[in-house]
Amino acid sequence: MMAQTNTSTGAPDTNTNAGDIVDLSAYDDEQVRLMGEMCIVLDNNDKAIGAASKKTCHQMSNINKGMVHRAFSVFLFNSKNELLLQQRATEKITFPECFTNTCCSHPLATEAELDEEDQIGVKRAAQRKLEHELGIPADQVPLDKFQYLTRIHYVAPSDGVWGEHEIDYILFICADVDLKVNANEVMSVKYVAMDELKQMIADADKTGTKLTPWFRLIDESFLYKWWANLENLEPFKDHATIHRLN
């Protein structure tokens, strides 16, 4: 476990409540429990410098001071080349009821998920959360089948209290999977073809469809050229660049 991070200075902090100023009593009990998980705090070049609770990392009061954490976004495609989308549950504290890519979450500040060799820690976290949110068995999404494409760095408020400030690892995987959706995490799921997603996003404002900001950014910047080349993604992998998308 890494040292906790002081939200004002970025230095290690032994105070477990540093930056935790928001009362969570009005929120869902399970989502509150998950807010205690320890995320990996970074500098702006993706160097791990400490750890802080999910609650601390997602408060705009800390984000506005520059706190950034590590995340991942999984895009899972079936054998028809359709993308699995999820709609985040009403119970979610950040971006509830928004449609997004298959799974978006955070590697934890544990030895297994801090491991940066071949991005194995991020892939372990992705496998863990695919099971947690969507009930996908680990053997249907083996670690060696995840393809790491690149990283994006963005900041996005959810409301006046919560938001995201992440360096987000983009992972693609092609697999036909069994789903057992966790209703506390996911309101609905759907597979979409490329043209369906383009229309869904084009009509989002008119239909009132809410989308997560990171999904919009990836859609606008990269998604379709990657999707069109699922059989050979090697030329599109860029592990050296952190794309600053704000």
Inter-residue contact 166 to 208 (CB < 8 Å): no
- 16/95 Cα distance (integer angstroms): 25
Token digits for 166? 């992440």
DSSP state of 57: H
Of the candidates 44, 49, 43, 37, the one whose C-alpha atom is nearest the C-alpha of residue 11 is: 49
The catalytic residue among 57, 98, 103, 104 is 104
Q: Is 57 a catalytic residue?
A: no
The catalytic residue among 91, 133, 164, 166 is 166
DSSP state of 2: P
Beta bridge partners of 87: 99, 188
Q: Is 166 a catalytic residue?
A: yes
Task: Please report, in angstroms and rounded to a whole number, the separation of the first and last CA atoms in the chain.
Answer: 31
Catalytic residues: 104, 166
